[in-house]
Structure 1
Amino acid sequence: MDPDSGVILARTAEGNAVVLGLLKCGKIWLCPVCSATIRHGRAEEITRAVVAWVAMGGTALLVTFTARHAATDRLATLMDAIQGTRADKAKEIKRRAGAYQRLITGGAWAGRKASDGHRHADREGIRDRVGYIGMIRATEITVGQVNGWHPHIHAIVFLGGTTTGERADKRVTGTFTPSASALAELEGHFRGVWTSHLAKVDKEFKPSDRHGVDFKRLETIQDAEDLGKYIAKIQDGDKAISPANELARGDLKQGRHGNMAPFQLLGRLGDLMGGVPEDEADGHGDQPWCRAKWAEYETATKGRRAIEWTRYLRPLLGIEGGDTEDDDLDVLAGMDGLSEFRDGVHVDTGAWHKVTRRALDLAATEAAEAGEWDGVTELVTAAGARSGAVRQLTPGEIAEAWDATLATLAVRREAAAARRQVERAGTDPAAN
């Protein structure tokens, strides 16, 4: 991040190693390391939001949307159908809405204005009757040899709110419990819009009424608090996971019914490329098939957001941040400093470059996690750098260096805040 500052290998009070001062790719779709950290942070955001809303007296639903698919379907085509197409200014291609965006559009949803410009009680839409204030969407993808790609959307829908104002000035004024008839109307609307749009794109994509859209209501504050219970833990097979993890922790997912999650696919590809026999490597598919599927996955997810909040929902719930790649980098940097530092060492920039060129950076991180600081020095010298390039740091010195990192982060956050202000003003055509 700063060539003059070098790198700090530190150990937290919990005994975990962190490397401060390095730029990270922040690719939530493609990088197992960055994805785990980003999704951890996003899951905590989602949990805070749902807990706060249910505590206020609001209602939350976990809704899963799926499409029918076959082994011959391309992932990009399925993603366009459910999530919409991506805009390309260079090619003058406009963004086209997918089935997800269609859920909250139209007169039945928003209501119709009378000739005097106002909406009377008999002209209210479904949105008004259920007290909809927004939702959080996460797209998950699995793949299998028999049924091919299976992209699907998990969404937490926030209901039961009364509001005042519009757009960025919108504020929650109270909460209520939507009636059973209003919730049934919402479910019918979502199912109808979802399936009909997919049928228009390709009749083979249309799911059954039973499998296309699934609803689960979060009844109590305890339901909401349970969202974060397994946030930092790995999913164990088909055991139930919290709705927050269902939404955010795609890195923990294991595909069902013979399917693989993307990082399972990547892990198998790595095993096969490393010489592990096909029948001993986890997952399925030979190396050419795995390689082709991963390449298709990279292309189909490029430029898409894995997790996204509807516009203005964050400020309504008092949650800072955003959903862009820059915001993901903020999450990465912020997660490094959540714990107190126990000890660590500073490594000069030039020495660290030598370490990485010889692929010794993982070994150095593992030595740091074990508190073997002499081992870090030995690795640095083995890479061709002088031993003086490594300097022991006290917890206070690490904290000072971390404060300097946070100062850099603050500058980036200011730029991100300015960008979000533009988005909230409605001038960002790429925003949902």
Structure 2
Amino acid sequence: MDPASGVIVAQTAAGTSVVLGLMRCGRIWLCPVCAATIRHKRAEEITTAVVEWVKRGGTAYLVTFTARHGHTDRLADLMDALQGTRKTPDTPRRPGAYQRLITGGTWAGRKASDGDRHRDREGIRDRIGYIGMIRATEVTVGQVNGWHPHIHAIVFVGGRTEGEKADKHVTEVFAPTDNALAEWQGQWRSVWTGALRKVNPDFTPDDRHGVDFKLLETERDANDLAEYIAKTQDGKQPAMELARGDLKSAGHDNVTPFQLLGRIGDLTGGVPEDDATGQGSLEWNLGRWHEYERATKGRRAIEWTRYLRQILGIEGGDTEDDDLDLLLAADADGGELRAGVAVTEDGWSAVSRRALDLATLEAAEGTDGNTDPEALGSRVREVLAHADVADTVVLLTSSEVAEAYTAMLEALALRREEAAARRHRENDDQDDDADRDDVQERARRHLARRAGTPQE
């Protein structure tokens, strides 16, 4: 995070250890380490959101969307059909089946000629009181049926809102009628299958498997009557179903992407095929992993409807920077820090090259029962001596650890602000260039018309 400060290996009051000051990749699709932390924090946010909405008297559904697929279908094509294509310099973004669900007059209602939306012109959105949803995309793959991307969404209904954008707020909570809910579910099933059929008829699911709705009901926790736990009808926690794709083992002879990665690690590490985790040859697993990397690039794994967070009072966001902030918060969330050691950037690089990261953490934990700061420093120096960098260690008290980490965070925030300002200036310069080119082109055409010369 801050090359001038290096990193800090600190011991918590609980006897565990933590490394502070390292930047993480934050790749929720690709990194098992970062994904576990990000998804855990996202699951906590989702649980808080569902509980908050149910406490207000609202209703929530867990809705799962799938497409028909075969072993010859490319993951990128399936993801485009579900989520939409990604914008490129040469092509605009094309909506997927998911975006089609919440567009059109049947869903959103139609305005009268005077611009007012009357009750008889309301859409399904108004009749069910839709306020937003949280979407998570999950991917599995098998040797027989190929890629199986699917979307889980928690949909919040039963609310009326006023205001626009950042000023939107809930004014009323109600129970949607059975007729309205049936109309909504029928509409979404029809739109989903129709959108997929339009992209590729082979992707069209049957009515039973394409879209599945589960009402989220509430139970009082036996140990704490003040807390509500939202559960689906089959007893699963909806937030975990939505966010913790890293914990899942795929069914129906499929594997998750991290199971692909696990088998790649086993096979390249010399584990016999019959003893390795997962399925398939090394070549098959590498091919599927590389395809997965390309197909998920630039896509959001978990995304909230815009302004839903503010409506429910949940802070944060869904960008890559927000994921990195979650990781930084998790690093510092290990409890009270007793003491630690600071290691220079060059020193930690040497530790990483020698694969002594884990040994350094174990030394800081004090497994011998001695938690004295001087003893901590001695244990860490002993490990780092194997990397010839023991002299880079500086012992820190608990207050010095906190001060150093605060300085690292401040330095990171400053670099982010500077980067954002630089991008803003670059965008402004590009806009100015485009405006100047447009003015020059209009002037050229005007002069050409006056001169009566042909225009190219």
TM-score by length of 2: 0.84
In the alignment, what sits opposite 2:296?
301
Equivalent pair of 1:7/1:21 in contact (CA under 8 Å): yes
Q: Distance in 2 between matches of 1:254 and 1:144?
A: 12
Q: CA deviation at 1:288?
A: 0.3
In the alignment, what sits opposite 1:401?
404
Mapped pair 1:180 → 2:178: yes
Q: CA deviation at 1:415?
A: 8.6
In the alignment, what sits opposite 2:83?
83
Q: Distance in 2 between matches of 1:351 and 1:316?
A: 47
Please report the RMSD computed on the Cα atoms of aligned residues, expressed in angstroms. 2.3
Q: Distance in 2 between matches of 1:307 and 1:269?
A: 26
The secondary structure found in structure 2 opposite 1:245 is helix
Within the candidate set 113, 116, 119, 1:118 is matched to 116
In the alignment, what sits opposite 2:277?
282
Q: Any stretches of 5+ residues in structure 2 without a counterpart?
A: 222-226, 369-375, 422-456
Within the candidate set 95, 98, 108, 1:97 is matched to 95
Say if 1:413 and 1:371 are closer, same or farther in 2 by CA, change over 3 A.
farther
Matches within 5 A, 1:28-427: 28-89=28-89, 92-220=90-218, 222=220, 225-226=228-229, 241-338=236-333, 339-371=335-367, 373=376, 374-385=378-389, 387-408=390-411, 410-411=413-414
Q: CA deviation at 1:9?
A: 0.9
Q: CA deviation at 1:414?
A: 6.9
Q: Distance in 1 between matches of 2:316 and 2:287?
A: 35
In the alignment, what sits opposite 1:23?
23
Task: Give the fraction of aligned pairs with identical amino acids, expressed as a percent.
Answer: 66
Which amino acid is the alignment partner of residue 300 of structure 1? A
Q: CA deviation at 1:152?
A: 0.3
Q: CA deviation at 1:402?
A: 2.6
Equivalent pair of 2:67/2:196 in contact (CA under 8 Å): yes
Equivalent pair of 2:159/2:172 in contact (CA under 8 Å): yes
Q: Distance in 2 between matches of 1:401 and 1:157?
A: 43
Q: CA deviation at 1:411?
A: 4.7
Deviation digits for residues 94-135 of structure 1 (CA, Å, limit 9, x no counterpart): 111001111000010001111111111111000000111110
Q: Distance in 2 between matches of 1:63 and 1:415?
A: 41
Say if 1:94 and 1:415 are closer, same or farther in 2 by CA, change over 3 A.
farther
Structure 1 stretch 183-192 or stretch 371-380: which is displaced more? 371-380
Which amino acid is the alignment partner of residue 124 of structure 1? E
Which amino acid is the alignment partner of residue 192 of structure 2? W
Q: CA deviation at 1:391?
A: 2.6
Which amino acid is the alignment partner of residue 298 of structure 1? E
Q: Distance in 2 between matches of 1:256 and 1:4?
A: 48
TM-score by length of 1: 0.89
In the alignment, what sits opposite 2:373?
none
Q: CA deviation at 1:365?
A: 2.4
Q: Distance in 1 between matches of 2:311 and 2:20?
A: 33
Q: CA deviation at 1:366?
A: 3.2
Equivalent pair of 1:55/1:221 in contact (CA under 8 Å): no
Say if 1:26 and 1:255 are closer, same or farther in 2 by CA, change over 3 A.
same
Asked which structure has the greater CA Rg, the reply is 2
The secondary structure found in structure 2 opposite 1:220 is strand
Q: Distance in 2 between matches of 1:222 and 1:68?
A: 39
Structure 1 stretch 218-227 or stretch 6-15: which is displaced more? 218-227
Structure 1 stretch 247-256 or stretch 361-370: which is displaced more? 361-370
Which amino acid is the alignment partner of residue 280 of structure 2? G
Equivalent pair of 2:51/2:229 in contact (CA under 8 Å): no
The secondary structure found in structure 1 opposite 2:113 is coil
Equivalent pair of 1:65/1:153 in contact (CA under 8 Å): yes
> After TM superposition, where is structure 1 displaced by more than 6 Å over at least 4 residues in a row?
412-418
The secondary structure found in structure 1 opposite 2:94 is coil
Structure 1 stretch 73-82 or stretch 353-362: which is displaced more? 353-362
Say if 1:39 and 1:106 are closer, same or farther in 2 by CA, change over 3 A.
same
Q: Distance in 2 between matches of 1:412 and 1:125?
A: 46
The secondary structure found in structure 1 opposite 2:342 is strand
Equivalent pair of 2:217/2:230 in contact (CA under 8 Å): no
Q: CA deviation at 1:382?
A: 1.0
The secondary structure found in structure 1 opposite 2:71 is coil
Say if 1:411 and 1:49 are closer, same or farther in 2 by CA, change over 3 A.
farther
Q: CA deviation at 1:186?
A: 1.1
Q: How many residues align?
A: 406
Say if 1:156 and 1:269 are closer, same or farther in 2 by CA, change over 3 A.
same
Q: Distance in 2 between matches of 1:328 and 1:412?
A: 17
Q: Distance in 1 between matches of 2:87 and 2:70?
A: 26
